Structure 1
Amino acid sequence: MSRFVEQFDMFMKAHEAFKAGRNSEGLSATLFLLVNGIVKPSARELYELWESSVYGDCGSEELFLTMLDLEMIPDILREAKAGKFDILKDFVDAVARLDEDTQYKVLKAI
């Protein structure tokens, strides 16, 4: 199996783990892909993994903070504003829970 196929398989397993509520397993696979992957997950793909964790009834705070650290949240909000995809209210709520300085930084980047 090629490395790309293996990484795609790992990406899909991360989705499944998040949906099943196994956040640590999903986060482990996601972080491996970010660090070692040939193809790095985009902001939208990371959002979709986070969305899977919400559907698994335990939204991954760690994945949300990873997206924040990687400065992907403004990209996600821009794409959603442009109508490329819909975001969950839970995501907006997570942004609202950030401290004011971080919120300002995120909104300024949009």
Structure 2
Amino acid sequence: MTNRQAARQPYLRVLDDLQGKISSGELSPGDLLPSTRALSERHGVAVMTVRRAYTELQKLGKAEPTHGVGWFVTEPPAPKPGLEERVRTLEVEVRELRERLVEHDSSVS
């Protein structure tokens, strides 16, 4: 462990380890994460430190707990559309609204 790693808060080291394993595919959606006790022993940290790392992982949408069973890797969230895609969608919606307005105006006249 480098001095920089040692200076990081312990829960961040655990979180980085878990995120690395998820990103690399070593842990896949649906996989059971290691128990808090096992992970605390592996990293030499308190169980509460591992719980905090798991909570942060949950906030990131990468893990969910199942009561009485443990923590599981979740499906990654769908990527948000980029600006260009959102603009194209809005352009289509505006075009459709204009067409409806023209149809409505012609039916009222």
| TM range, smaller chain | 0.3 to 0.5
| TM-score, length-scaled by structure 2 | 0.33
Structure ID, larger Rg: 2
Which structure is higher in strand share? 2
| Greater RCO (CA < 8 Å, at least 6 residues apart) | 2
| TM-score, length-scaled by structure 1 | 0.33
Which structure is higher in helix share? 1
